[in-house]
Every structure is written in C-alpha cells, then in structure tokens.
Amino acid sequence: MLKISSLLFCCLLSFKTFSQTSAKTIDIIPQPVSMVKSSGQFSLPATVTIGASSSAEVSSVTSYLKNKIQTATGKSVLLKGNASFTTIKLALNPTENAAIGKEGYQLTITPKGIVIKANAAAGLFYGVQTLVQLLPKEIESKTAVKGIKWAVPCVKITDYPRFGWRGLMFDVARHFFTVAEVKQYIDAMVRYKYNLLHLHLADDEGWRIEIKGLPRLTEVGAYSAKRVGYFGTFAPPPADEPRTYGGFYTQEDIKELVKYAQERFVNILPEIDVPGHSLAAVVSYPELSCTPGADKYKVRSGEEIMDWSHGQPPVALIDNTLCPANEKVYEFMDKVITQIAQLFPFQYIHLGGDECPKNFWEKSEAVKMLMQKEGLKNMEEVQSYFEKRVEKIVESKGKKFMGWDEILEGGLAPNAVVMSWRGMKGGIEAAKMGHEVVMSPTTYAYLDYMQGDPSIESKVYATLRLDKTYQFEPVPDSVDAKLIKGGQANLWTEQVYNLRKAEYMTWPRGLAIAETLWSPKASKNWDNFSQRVEGQFPRFEEAEINYAPSMYDPIVNVSRRDSTMTIALSTEIKPLDIYYSFDNSFPDRFYPKYTQPLTVPKEAAQIKIITYRGNKPISRMMSIPITDLTARLPKPRK
C-alpha cells in the first residue's frame, strides 16, 4: 500500500510540475507523454559537440541537428562519435525499451548536458525536434543571431506517439509546387513530428509525375491556361490559348524528394486519383475515355466541369473518368502503378476513387455490356469492379491498395485500406468489416476550409476553426482501435496558388492535428493547447513560415429576432475583449466594448470589429457590410 501511495504521489508531483511549467515557458507541440521540470538550465558552450553512432540513419539526425544549431547560433558544432563527454549525446538503447516503441524517445537535460535516448533513429529525430522547441525561438533563424543566451531548461521527458500514421496531404495537382517548395513543406511538418506526406499527384488540373512510355501525360496533361481568382468560376479558355501553366516531377525529382523525406523520417504516399478526377489523363490519351469526342477536351484551368446541385456524386458536364469497360485502361494503370511502386518505397499506393460521376457511364454501350457480362446491377458496382481490378494490380507490385471512402460503395475490394473523408462514417463502416482505416474527415481535418470569418479569409464554401480541428478524435467508440492506423489533415489547393498560402492554410491547424495524432487522448486541453500555439507563432516568424492568426479574430453569428437582425460576437480564445463600430471608423479600445448581442442601427452600412488583450490590439480589423450579414441570416421556414 505504501508503494502504491508513493507512486501516486510521484505521478501527482510530475503532473503538477508539468502544468506549472507549460503555463510559464514550455510550449512544446505536440504535448509530450510525460515531462518533469527541475531547477536550473543548460547553456550551449562556445563549441557544441554531438556524440552519436555513425550509422547512416543516426548520421542523418546528427547532420540535421548540427545544421540547425550551427546556422542559428553561429557556434562551432563538432561530431564526436560515441565520445563519453559531449554537449548533446544521441544514444540508441542497447536493449529495446518497449514502452516507447520505434518513434519514442527519452530526453534528459541537466546542468551538465543533454542526452536523447531512443530505440531507433526516428526516436532520436523526434527527441531533437523537442529539444529545438526548448531552445530560444531564434533557433529557427536562417542566419546566425547574436546576443542570445542559448540555454534550455532542465527537464526529463519520456515521449512516444499515439498513432503510427500522422499525415498531411498536399495537393500538387490543382497547382504545381516545385521540388524546393515540397521540401520546404516537409521541413515545416517534421517540426511537429508528422511522419507522412500524402502527395496528390494527378487530377483534372494536372498530371504531375513522369511515367516512362506515356510521354503525353506530362507533355500535355501537366499544363493548363493560367487563371487567378475564384477557382471553379472561370470561363473556359479559348481553344487556341497557350497552355504553359503547370509542371511535373521527373522520376529523378521523385527520387530526390523520397530521399529528402526519408532523411527526416517521413514516408511519401503517392496518389493517382482514378477513375474520376482523371481529365488530365483523358486529355493526354482520349482512348481511355468511354465518351466519343474526348479528344476535344482540355486540361481544366478552373472552369466549371461538374454540376454539384444534386449532391454526390456530381453530374459531369464533361467526362473526366477513365472507362471501366476498356481493357486499355487496365494496361494504362498497370504501367503507371508499376513505375509508382518502383519510385515510392512506402508500402501503400492511394488510387483515389472519390467523387466519380456516373452519368457518362450510364450512356456508354461498353459499360452496359460490361454490366451484363459481369452481373453488375448498378453504377456503384461498376466502380467497385474497377477498384477490385486496380487493387489486384497494386498487390501484384507488392503494395497495399488505398482509396477514399467512396470505394466502399458497390462492394469493397478485399484488402483495401480506406481513407475516410466524408466524416467518420465510411471509416467506421470499413473498420467494422475488418479493414484498416485512416481518418481524415472534412469535419475536422480539411485545411482548405476558411479558418475565420469570410470577411477576412479567402472565400471557400466552408469554415473550420482551430478549436474545432482540435476536437478531432480518430478512434470512434464503436470500432476496434487497432484498425485505425491514424489520421491526417488534407490541403486541397484549388484556391491555394502558392506556398505562402499553403503555409497559411496549414498552420496553426496543422498543430492541432499533430497533437491529436501524437499526444495521449487524456492530455488534450484546449486552453492549454491554445496557449502553446501562441508560443509557436514567434517561432514561425523566425523560420519565415506563414501562418493564420485567425484564432484571435472575432466569431460573428447573426440571427433574426422578429424583423430585426441581431449580431452575436464571441472569441475562440480567452480572455479577449471585442470592440466595434457602426459609423465606418476604425474601433480601438476606447470604442464601445461588446457585452451583449447587438442590434444594427438604421442606415448603418457596415460593422467594424477588433479584439484586444488588455490594452494591445491582437486581432485583425474586420469590416463586414451589413448586406453581407443579412445574406448570412438563416432562411425563414416556409
């Protein structure tokens, strides 16, 4: 009994120490499993020595750490092998510590030095990421910073991930991103212990990977006419307009990216989205289509090609699908998958399957003959036929087949892994059937959605705020947790034209997903997390990574009371004060402070809103026309 009481006391003391520490200075994301702070700190000496084994994997960790310290501090950094006395020691456990697994680590900082222990090099790398977050924010600088006390607090951390699949999906098909830009995205994600980059490599707007023997995929399918504005609303470009916007990755580019990712313990999941979302492939090789006249199609530049008024699946205005009744399609897929499998070492290949319109298939005599021959009752079963044949091709290359949750419709391929995006329902259904699942629901994990009020964000059809993202829980109560491999956030780039915007959309919501996938479920706490997010913002600034400050912006809700519009304001984080004006001037803290729902004065043209913390403005100034607020009112019931 005495032993149990002593253990409980130690646990409570550890928790108390962690709570006090995190509230003051330690803003680590994702939150470690266990952290105990002791008195004192360790300062980096004039010459920093790193001791570690010389194995290839560990060498990539030491090189990463050396470069990080040397660049920002200007100090000399020496690699000392397994020397006894070093500033920072990276040590692989001689016998495995089962509690921390392959990606866990133990970080100990005393006044005498820093020690990171792990079972594998990946664990050492994640320990390094935590160490970097303990150093002053200037460690993220790309040039040496003078006058900084390069010290870290004395702590003991034991840490390991909750899930093995911790991913970000980067859509490089809608807009092309260079090899250097993808590397930059990888560098940002590994700071927060992500280990998977899902590359969406082909869609209606572009085919982005070289396939030898199919040159038109990149000669024709990788380019469109450049348009900027609101994607999906553009007029179709004239037939004779030059198509020079886009690009693709050569196979050497892909090898370079895979190597770069591997050195940072990131797997790359390739996705070729079929049978829908395949216009770039059809334009390149029209014989892959069921539809006569496909040779007149062009790679999409952002013009409308789907009618979404009937829900999902959409009604296609042009046929952007591969023909499931054409044997040439399976020959094409075999050639593509063979080369994809050779280029990407990761065991999974993602083949889409989402939002496939069926209206052109319904008109196809070839599809009707296929249905009769195979006993297929509907179009969902036609797509299932396609998915099952593609799965066999994938498995023949020694890989596992993965698709979006639409592949459940019409019958799931025998060994398919389901990525659930239309909420959690598809993932639950697949797990109950015994299939592996990765959760990436729109509800919590779609980074292309607006992060704040439409008046200040680039307009998209939905909003997903940081606090909602943080509510993501990948394991539903009703399924076997072992089948949920993990989760990821998805960044679709229809409205994302450059890397700065990609960063803005990813961070800080990417921090919420990172913590959900790494940290213990029981440790999640929004108030604590939001404080730590604020601690990351100066680090983003030092690293010159763009991020959204939307968590500071007011939340605006409008309702109708009799014939009067009422405006209710709130904040995502607290304590913040909201000040407003209706007189077209710019409010500060000397203006009216919001305390209760507002009634719009007669003839007012707009409301301007800003938040303050104490006497400092903290949000962006928001200006919303009253006409826009009126348009947001719920429609009266008939």
Instruction: State the catalytic residues.
Output: 203, 277, 355
**What are the E-state strand segments in 275-392?**
306-307, 315-316, 348-352
Alpha-helical regions (H) of 25-91: 56-73
353 conformational bin, left if phi > 0, alpha if psi -120 to 50, beta if neither: left
User: In the structure encoding, which two tokens stand for residue 279, read together?
Assistant: 């216009």
CA distance 320 to 451: 31
Containing 92, the helix (H) or strand (E) segment is strand 88-92
Q: How many CB atoms lie within 10 A of CB 464?
A: 21
Compute φ and ψ for 604, nearest 5 degrees. -65, 140
Token pair listed for 398: 């020694």
- Count Cβ atoms below 10 Å from residue 471 Cβ, excluding itself: 12
Question: What is the rounded (10 degree) CA torsion for 358, 362, 366, 372?
Answer: 110
SS3 string, 417-480, reads EEEECCCCHHHHHHHHCCCCEEECCHHHHECCCECCCCCCCCCCCCECCHHHHCCCCCCCCCCC
Whole-angstrom Cα distance, residue 380 to residue 391? 16
DSSP string across 234-281: BPPPPTTS---EE--B-HHHHHHHHHHHHTTT-EEEEEEEESSS-HHH
Q: Which of 215, 234, 316 is nearest to 275 (CA)?
A: 316
CA–CA separation, 278 and 280 (whole Å): 6
Place of tokens 């002593």: 6
Q: How far apart are CA 286 and CA 304, in angstroms?
A: 20
571's tokens: 């904040």
Write the DSSP string, 567-591: EEEE-SSSS-EEEEESSSS---TTS
Residues 6+ apart with CB under 8 A from 45: 75, 87
DSSP 303: B
Helix H, strand E, coil C: the string for 593-625 is ECCCCEECCCCCCEEEEEEEECCEECCCCEEEE
User: How far is 219 from 206, CA to CA, in rounded Å?
Assistant: 11
Taking residue 275's Cβ as centre, other Cβ atoms within 10 Å add up to 27
Q: Are the C-beta atoms of 412 and 430 separated by less than 8 Å?
A: yes
- C-beta neighbour count of 567 within 10 angstroms: 21
Q: What share of the chain is helix, strand, coil (3-state, %, to 5)?
A: 35, 25, 40
Cβ atoms of 290 and 364 closer than 8 Å: yes
DSSP state, 44? -
The interaxial angle of helices 121-134 and 56-73, nearest 10 deg, is 10
